[in-house]
Amino acid sequence: MDAAMDTYDVIVLGAGPVGENLADWAHAQGLSAAVVESELIGGECSYWACMPSKALLRPVLARADARRTPGLRQAVTGPLDAPAVLAHRDAFASHWKDDGQAQWLDSAGIDLVRGHGCLDGPRRVTVTEPDGRQRTLTARHAVAVCTGSRAALSDLPGLADARPWTSREATSTASVPGRLAVVGGGVAVEMTTTWRALGAEVTLLVRGQGLLPRMEPFAGELIAAALTEAGVDLRTGTSVTEVRRPDPTGPVTLTLSGDGAGAGDTLEADEVLFATGRAPRTDDLGLETVGLTPGAWLDVDDTCQVRDLAGGWLYAVGDANHRALLTHQGKYQARVAGAVIAARA
């Protein structure tokens, strides 16, 4: 079947907060824009990160505050209602439906193209739609890569077959695991706090000697003390060398090493969450068709224009450029890039 041809001033790959903001900003200044998305409109933040994680944490923190408040602590004695907390989370994630986001794009005058988009040479994007048909879009002025990042998983023996949790499963799972092993001492503390408060037995495995290594030491010390008080089995100086899950429906076994407590032993859990970093979602975007390396972070200048690419038509905004992997920073970059693209057009 011949591919349909469509032309826009700006084509945005990725309909998360970054892509939405860039398209909206460019369109508000008179440019036509299309957004290509293969998953849910609203992106990681809306469904598997900021929104569901904070919805899960809110009851946990509210109870903790109440227990520290004189005159109120006596009234807060029972466990959290886990099904109610999970239902609250589901509502915040719009039950993983993006109808409202699609309506907003339409009301803003931005075209939505559902499917997987990849570059096919300068200013060209080929979209494989859900039914398998292909559609080719061309950009008069710019293509913006706003595809974000994904959880980075190592090549540990057995990990690929063990079905580990990443941030997505940790924020969207439908039930509380009996035993949860968490690997990582950074953002991992957030879900460690949540699932322990909801009743899971949690073991936190940290390769270094403390938590939150990129922050002031006292912050990690306070978090460590609070988690330990809450009943988390915190093991620093501990690495995972192997993961095994021979029965797809059974427990997972981790082999440990290092100089921390339990190193050299094995740990059994019902689920294991790896929170050990992020990787760019640029491996299947056709970057090789314009001379760039697939799977790499994209190097940009302060306008988010990709460096060393003839014609100055390609932009990378948000996580894809590795400048600051934060939703609000990505939205700020999107406003900058949208204004710059419009001005240059």
pLDDT in tens, 186-201: 999 999 999 999 999 9
In whole angstroms, give the CA distance from residue 305 to residue 319.
14
> pTM for this one?
0.92
Q: What is the pLDDT of residues 51-68, one digit of tens each?
A: 999 999 999 999 999 999
pLDDT band (50, 70, 90) for residue 262: low
Residue 138 has pLDDT above 80, yes or no: yes
Number of alpha carbons in the 13 Å side-chain half-sphere of residue 294: 9
Q: What percentage of residues in the chain have a pLDDT greater than 70?
A: 97
pLDDT at 260: 66
In whole angstroms, give the CA distance from residue 269 to residue 122.
49
pLDDT at 73: 87
Question: What are the structural domains of the chain?
Answer: 4-46+93-150+279-344 (3.50.50.60), 153-276 (3.50.50.60)
Question: What's the token pair of residue 34?
Answer: 């299309």
Q: Please, are residues 163 and 177 in contact by the beta-carbon 8 Å criterion?
A: no
Range of lowest pLDDT (5-9, 42-46, 125-129, 267-271):
5-9
pLDDT at 282: 97
pLDDT at 2: 46
In whole angstroms, give the CA distance from residue 225 to residue 7.
57
Closest Cα to residue 284, out of 236, 333, 320? 320
In whole angstroms, give the CA distance from residue 15 to residue 240.
35
pLDDT at 6: 92
Question: What's the token pair of residue 265?
Answer: 């032993």
Give burial (CB, 10 Å; 0-12/13-18/19+) of 78.
exposed
Q: What is the pLDDT of residues 271-312, one digit of tens each?
A: 999 999 999 999 999 999 999 999 999 999 999 999 989 999
pLDDT at 141: 98
